[in-house]
């Protein structure tokens, strides 16, 4: 395995509950009906898509304003949160010595740049965020673009994600699909979505790749 490609939210960073709380706060402030259970079912979608669903509109100005409001709330919550999973730093530093690393995520570059430690970002040869990817997962475009930038083939690569859409994207890109149960989905659900391998933590991943 020459390259290890990562999803970001719920895989490298323990931020899903913070995002949920920010979306729920925006919904409450504007009177939009939204439950945590309903939100969790669409958390794998890009932020803009979630806001459009939440507000029932695709009006660019309104969606942009709600996105800024949600992001500002998220940043205020995240500044006092540990954010990284306990094993993230050790695993990334270790893998970077022997593998080419990439992140492919639907999160915004502003969020990733502001909150993911700079010294860890430097370990990734390619980072593709929402702004860089025209077709989000489960489309394989982001993974294919990352492999092109890393100069590796699909048979030399694996992708680690926490959702069924990650597993589908991996298979469509022709890479090994590794599910991780640190997000919303368990081993059975990830295997049903096509995971070739499922791990419970990044420490387990370190042994697998």
> Which residues form the domain of 27?
16-78
Give tens-digit pLDDT for 48-100.
Answer: 899 999 888 889 999 999 999 999 999 888 877 668 999 999 999 999 999 99
Whether residues 67 and 108 fall in one domain: no
CATH number, residue 101: 3.40.50.1000
Residues of the chain with pLDDT under 70: 81-82
Whether residues 94 and 9 fall in one domain: yes
Model pLDDT, residue 79: 78
Which domain-ending residue is among 78, 94, 128? 78
What is the number of domains present in the chain? 2
Whether residues 91 and 140 fall in one domain: yes
Model pLDDT, residue 81: 66
Whether residues 59 and 140 fall in one domain: no
Q: Tell me whether strands 176-180 and 197-199 are parallel, antiparallel or unpaired.
A: parallel
Whether residues 124 and 200 fall in one domain: yes
Whether residues 10 and 60 fall in one domain: no
Whether residues 95 and 142 fall in one domain: yes
DSSP annotation of 38 reads H
CATH number, residue 39: 1.10.150
Whether residues 67 and 90 fall in one domain: no
Which domain-ending residue is among 78, 98, 116? 78
Which domain-ending residue is among 78, 106, 122? 78
DSSP annotation of 64 reads H
Whether residues 42 and 110 fall in one domain: no
Whether residues 7 and 102 fall in one domain: yes
Whether residues 115 and 197 fall in one domain: yes
- State both tokens at 122: 């430097």
Q: Is 120 left (phi over 0), alpha (psi -120 to 50) or beta?
A: alpha
Model pLDDT, residue 115: 86
Q: Report if pTM > 0.85.
A: yes
Whether residues 103 and 69 fall in one domain: no
Strand order in the sheet with 126-128: 126-128, 100-104, 3-6, 157-161, 176-180, 197-199
């Amino acid at each position: 395995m020459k390259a290890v490609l990562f999803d970001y939210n719920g895989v490298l960073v323990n931020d899903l509950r913070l995002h949920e709380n920010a979306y729920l706060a925006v919904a409450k402030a504007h009177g939009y009906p939204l439950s945590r259970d309903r939100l969790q079912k669409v958390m794998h979608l890009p932020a803009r898509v979630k806001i459009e669903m939440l507000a029932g509109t695709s009006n660019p100005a309104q969606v942009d304003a709600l996105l800024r409001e949600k992001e500002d709330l998220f940043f205020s919550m995240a500044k006092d949160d540990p954010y990284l999973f306990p094993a993230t730093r050790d695993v990334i530093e270790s893998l970077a010595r022997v593998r080419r690393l990439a992140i492919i995520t639907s999160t915004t570059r502003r969020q990733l740049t502001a909150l993911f430690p700079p010294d860890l970002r430097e370990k990734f040869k390619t980072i593709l965020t929402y702004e860089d990817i025209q077709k989000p997962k489960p489309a394989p475009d982001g993974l294919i673009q990352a492999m092109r930038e890393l100069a590796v083939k699909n048979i030399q690569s694996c992708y680690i994600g926490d959702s069924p859409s990650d597993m589908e994207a991996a298979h469509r890109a022709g890479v090994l699909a590794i599910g991780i149960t640190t997000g919303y989905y368990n081993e059975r659900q990830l295997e049903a979505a096509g995971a070739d391998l499922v791990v419970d933590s990044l420490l387990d991943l370190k042994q697998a790749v």
